[in-house]
Amino acid sequence: MEYVNLIIDNSNDKTDMLYTYASEIEGLKPGDKVTVPFARGNKEYDAYVHSMADGPDPRIKYKYVISKDPLVSLPSDAVEICEFMRQRYFCRYIDAIKCFAPAGSAPKRRAATDLFAGKEVEIVESPSLTPEQEEAVQNVMPFLQSREHKVFLIHGVTSSGKTETYMKVIEECLKQQRTAIMLVPEISLTSQTIRRFQQRFGTDDLAVLHSKLSKGERYDQWMRIKSGEAKVVIGARSAVFAPVENLGAVILDEEHESTYKSDMSPKYDTLEVAIQRARRSGGVVLLGSATPSLTSAFRAAKGEYEKILLKTRYNKTPLPHVEVVDMREELKQGNKSIFSIKLYEQIRACLDEGRQVILFLNRRGYSTFLSCRSCGYVMRCEECGISMTYHKARGEVVCHYCGRRTKIIPDVCPACGSKYIRHFGTGTEKVEEIAGKTFPDAVIERLDLDTAKRRGSIDAILSRFGKGKTDILIGTQLVAKGLDFSNVGLVGIVAADISLNIPDFRSSERTFQLITQAAGRAGRGTVPGKVVIQSYTPDHYAIQLAARQDYDLFYEAEIKIREQVGYPPFCDILYIILAAETEEEASEGAEKIRQSFLRRVGRDHAVNVLGPRPAPINKASGLYRYQLLIKCTEENWDAYREALWKIKNKVVREKQKEWTLSIDVNPYGFL
């Protein structure tokens, strides 16, 4: 007889604990999936073995494990990583466990899906490395060969050949019979990455994991990895939980991207999970970016990461020529178009030369809001209270926060009855319409979350662009990340100011990164490219330094500001949202949270607590929301974590129906 501590597959805060069961099944180990009777009705539930329990307590009548799943067992490090995630991200056991568990179930009437069927490619020989690439690889190899954990920050300009460096490291992992995980920030980039990896490694060793696969496909890929058949996993952030053993390397391409931070429970940071997994297996972590996050750059400066520089483009083509256009001057000259004279001229010239154009605007939809010019009324979401975005093609307005949509678009102002209600602002849909009228001879496509909803649509749009069938590609940040097309002669950044105005201490950093990354899509072939940046605040240091591609100067300016105000990387930000049915209850509840926290950690810590105050989106899903921000330095982490866990557990016990409490560590959004 054995006794095991189990995590029950029941998404309820009140059952978020370990339950001890007796088992007549020999050899159970942490991560095994079992079936057990649970609760008063002894209904059968799935559960996962957390640990082996000590000898039986004679005062307790134990329930017995019914059966063990013969196919599903989580990787050997899964339970330890789940413990880390629970303590770090304030999540439930089962939420962390499900990150590792396969989606779907074993096929009953179908054969396993082959994602690579019909996508055969010719194996391409490994190209010779540049001296910089060779030095980068040689820096990593000793740690791989000695199985010593290390984190490397590969800071390489756009098109410097970071991917080739990744593949050399993965080649070494395969030689050692070890596994590797290759992560990209957007699902839109997986197809391009898969193709390059197929050309190098074939398909037998490759597996793909991301949320756009069907449950059946994800299950099949999970089993290929678990069985050891596939040794190289490619995917978006969730692929960091792939059921690999003997992990040699985890690679995060474009490591600065906010998409590596989950905004759903568990609200994990992919980089932190990657480091935890690699540390336990003696593996390396490679972080690649032309614009590293300030946190990663800071850790490299302190010696926590080893920094590797790739300063020149692989084909030695110069970085694109960048011009900043002051849109205030365009208005003074009578140009009210979204295209400055300079951008129009450059697009025309590029098209005449037979080269392609990317236009970047990080705002989807046709216009940003509907407003009355008479009284100032703005059409807002009834659930969230934020302005709704007009989508002309669908004939509706949409809330991009909660998804609420309506085709009821007022002809007159609901507030004052005026007929002067119009749509204002510009989104990608409007840019597409205006570009079509301005350049009627060009083939134009749009890539954003609206055009990417259908399965395969992203691949189809990028495939047509890659084959030269599309002249102008218009998009949001989906077109600014990692795309590698040699015929792009021009990148136009339509409105560089958008990301500067978001309520986030990282707004300057994001603006610098987006401009630099978008600009990096130009001139990746043998002919230099051009970039036109349009801005109403052209003198802002983030825009000026991005135009100059001067990361070092930007880092020096921004890190001083962060240190002065005490924001990451000099601390963690603990973002607490309390939601309730009435605004009064939400406000009072948030203040009670604050007082309870200070009672536990000491009143002298009040300087680290900001708020409570209404959240930027004050109402969502029918609940009013108030926020607290807590600055937590490393020496305070244990005390703050303990205090917040006690508060969270108390809310679960006493206020579950009245309050909803959310805790996010270092969020990438404060809405």
Q: Are residues 266 and 180 in the same domain?
A: yes
pLDDT tier at 373, thresholds 50, 70, 90: low
pLDDT at 385 over 60: no
CATH number of the structural domain spanning residue 68: 3.40.1440.60
**Residue 284 in domain:** yes
Q: Are residues 65 and 175 in the same domain?
A: no
| Number of residues that this document lists for the chain | 671
Structure tokens given for 491: 């990148």
Please say which residue of 518, 537, 561 terminates a domain: 561
Task: State the Cα–Cα distance between residues 446 and 463, nearest whole angstrom.
Answer: 13
Report the pLDDT averaged over residues 422-451: 85
**Residue 377 in domain:** no
Q: Are residues 341 and 486 in the same domain?
A: yes
**Residue 493 in domain:** yes
Q: Are 483 and 344 within 8 A, CB to CB? A: no
pLDDT tier at 134, thresholds 50, 70, 90: very high
Please say which residue of 81, 100, 119 terminates a domain: 100
Task: State the Cα–Cα distance between residues 387 and 430, nearest whole angstrom.
Answer: 17
Q: Are 665 and 269 within 8 A, CB to CB? A: yes
Range of the domain at 359: 321-364+427-561
**What pLDDT, in 10s, does the model give residues 264-278?**
999 999 999 999 999
Q: Are residues 326 and 298 in the same domain?
A: no
Give Cα separations from 246 to 80, 102, 144 (angstroms).
15, 19, 12
Please say which residue of 516, 536, 561 terminates a domain: 561
**Residue 531 in domain:** yes
Q: Are residues 197 and 232 in the same domain?
A: yes
Report the pLDDT averaged over residues 83-87: 96
* Short-list 14, 15, 9, CA closest to 656: 14
**What pLDDT, in 10s, does the model give residues 3-41?**
999 999 998 888 999 999 999 998 999 999 999 999 889
**Tally of CA atoms within 13 A in the half-sphere of 374 that contains its CB:** 10
Q: Are 615 and 577 within 8 A, CB to CB? A: yes
118 or 24, which is more confident? 24
Task: State the Cα–Cα distance between residues 578 and 143, nearest whole angstrom.
Answer: 45
The counts of H helices and E strands in the chain are 17, 27
Angle, vertex CA 274, rays to CA 272 and CA 280, nearest 5: 105
**Residue 399 in domain:** no
**Residue 444 in domain:** yes
Task: State the Cα–Cα distance between residues 286 and 154, nearest whole angstrom.
Answer: 7
pLDDT at 400 over 60: no
Task: State the Cα–Cα distance between residues 386 and 617, nearest whole angstrom.
Answer: 7
DSSP 8-state assignment for residue 41: T
Residue 360's H or E segment, with its range, is strand 356-360
**What pLDDT, in 10s, does the model give residues 524-540?**
777 788 999 998 889 99
* Short-list 33, 27, 144, CA closest to 78: 33
Task: State the Cα–Cα distance between residues 617 and 19, nearest whole angstrom.
Answer: 39
Structure tokens given for 653: 């016990």
Report the pLDDT averaged over residues 89-101: 96
Instruction: Using a pLDDT cut of 70, give the percent of the chain over it.
Output: 93
Give Cα separations from 319 to 416, 419, 462, 477, 525 (angstroms).
53, 50, 23, 20, 11
Q: Are residues 348 and 210 in the same domain?
A: no
What are φ and ψ of residue 88, in 5° steps?
A: -80, -40
Task: State the Cα–Cα distance between residues 347 and 354, nearest whole angstrom.
Answer: 11
**Residue 410 in domain:** no
280 or 617, which is more confident? 280
- What's the number of domains the chain is made of? 4
Structure tokens given for 383: 């659930």
DSSP 8-state assignment for residue 74: -
CATH number of the structural domain spanning residue 644: 3.30.70.600
Task: State the Cα–Cα distance between residues 662 and 647, nearest whole angstrom.
Answer: 11
DSSP-based three-state secondary structure for 475:
strand
Three-state DSSP string of 169-224? HHHHHHHCCCEEEEECCCHHHHHHHHHHHHHHHCCCCEEEECCCCCHHHHHHHHHH
Cα 326 vs. chain centroid, distance in angstroms?
Answer: 32
Structure tokens given for 338: 């979204």
pLDDT at 424 over 70: no
Which residues are paired to 578 by β-bridges? 626, 661
DSSP letters for 96-157: HHHHHSPSS---SSSPPP-TTTT------PPPPPPHHHHHHHHHHHHHHHHT--EEEEEEE-
Task: State the Cα–Cα distance between residues 209 and 218, nearest whole angstrom.
Answer: 6
**What pLDDT, in 10s, does the model give residues 534-591?**
988 899 999 999 999 899 999 999 999 999 989 999 999 999 999 999 999 999 999 9
pLDDT tier at 499, thresholds 50, 70, 90: confident
Report the pLDDT averaged over residues 43-69: 93
Which residues are paired to 234 by β-bridges? 182, 208
Which pLDDT does position 187 carry in this prediction? Answer: 80
**Which position has the token pair 């100067």?**
553
pLDDT tier at 236, thresholds 50, 70, 90: very high
Q: Are residues 464 and 495 in the same domain?
A: yes
Structure tokens given for 189: 């980039």
- Residue burial 607-644, b: 16+ Cβ < 10 Å; e: rest: ebbebbebbbbbbbeebbbbbbbbbbeeebbeebbebb
Q: Are residues 445 and 488 in the same domain?
A: yes
Angle, vertex CA 216, rays to CA 482 and CA 13, nearest 5: 85
Report the pLDDT averaged over residues 148-154: 98
Q: Are residues 511 and 590 in the same domain?
A: no
Report the pLDDT averaged over residues 82-107: 92
pLDDT tier at 389, thresholds 50, 70, 90: confident
Q: Are residues 552 and 629 in the same domain?
A: no
pLDDT tier at 46, thresholds 50, 70, 90: very high
CATH number of the structural domain spanning residue 537: 3.40.50.300
Give Cα separations from 574 to 96, 407, 527, 567, 608 (angstroms).
19, 39, 47, 11, 10
- Which pTM does this prediction carry? 0.88
59 or 92, which is more confident? 92
Cα 67 vs. chain centroid, distance in angstroms?
Answer: 37
Instruction: Using a pLDDT cut of 90, give the percent of the chain over it.
Output: 60
Which pLDDT does position 361 carry in this prediction? Answer: 86
**Residue 12 in domain:** yes
Q: Are residues 159 and 285 in the same domain?
A: yes
428 or 7, which is more confident? 7
Q: Are residues 252 and 140 in the same domain?
A: yes
pLDDT at 169 over 90: yes
